Amino acid sequence: MSAVVTPFPLAGSRPLQVGFDRPELLRILDLYGRMVAAGMWRDYAMDFTRDAACFAAYRRTAERPEVRIEKRPSMRGKQGMWCLIGESGQVLKRGHELAGVLFPLERRLLKVVEQ
């Protein structure tokens, strides 16, 4: 019987896939829950590739996603690693901070309250 040795990843090597950290995922799922409660979204999907992590939110299951939230670490030094992409593929917002990129979606949940 021979033992299989798995090499330890080098410090400068790229990861096998990009993912969301726990605080990032909590922030995204919190927004998703509030959008579901407001009746705007009904389903979601996540995709993790070597280049990007993507969270897609759907109004209905059979459609294209209404929005996609992407994390691309390769864009960190340029326009920011966070990107909000609309239904037709247009980039709605880019940034270095997740909160700033999610703001256009959170603004939909704000309601004017009269005194």
Q: Is the pLDDT of residue 53 over 90?
A: yes
User: For every residue of the chain, which 3-state class applies, written as one string?
Assistant: CCCCCCCCCCCCCCCCCCCCCHHHHHHHHHHHHHHHHCCCCCEEEEEECCCCEEEEEECCCCCCCCEEEEECHHHCCCCCCEEEECCCCCEEEEECCHHHHHHHHHHCCCCCCCC
Q: Which has more confidence, 17 or 54?
A: 54
Note the pLDDT of residue 31: 92
pLDDT tens digits for range 59-103: 876 678 889 999 988 888 888 889 999 888 899 999 999 999 999
The whole-model pTM stands at 0.79
Convert the pLDDT of each residue in 4-18 to its tens digit.
Answer: 877 666 666 666 788
Domains of the chain by residue range:
22-107
pLDDT of amino acid 115: 66
* pLDDT single digits (tens) 23-38: 999 999 999 998 999 8
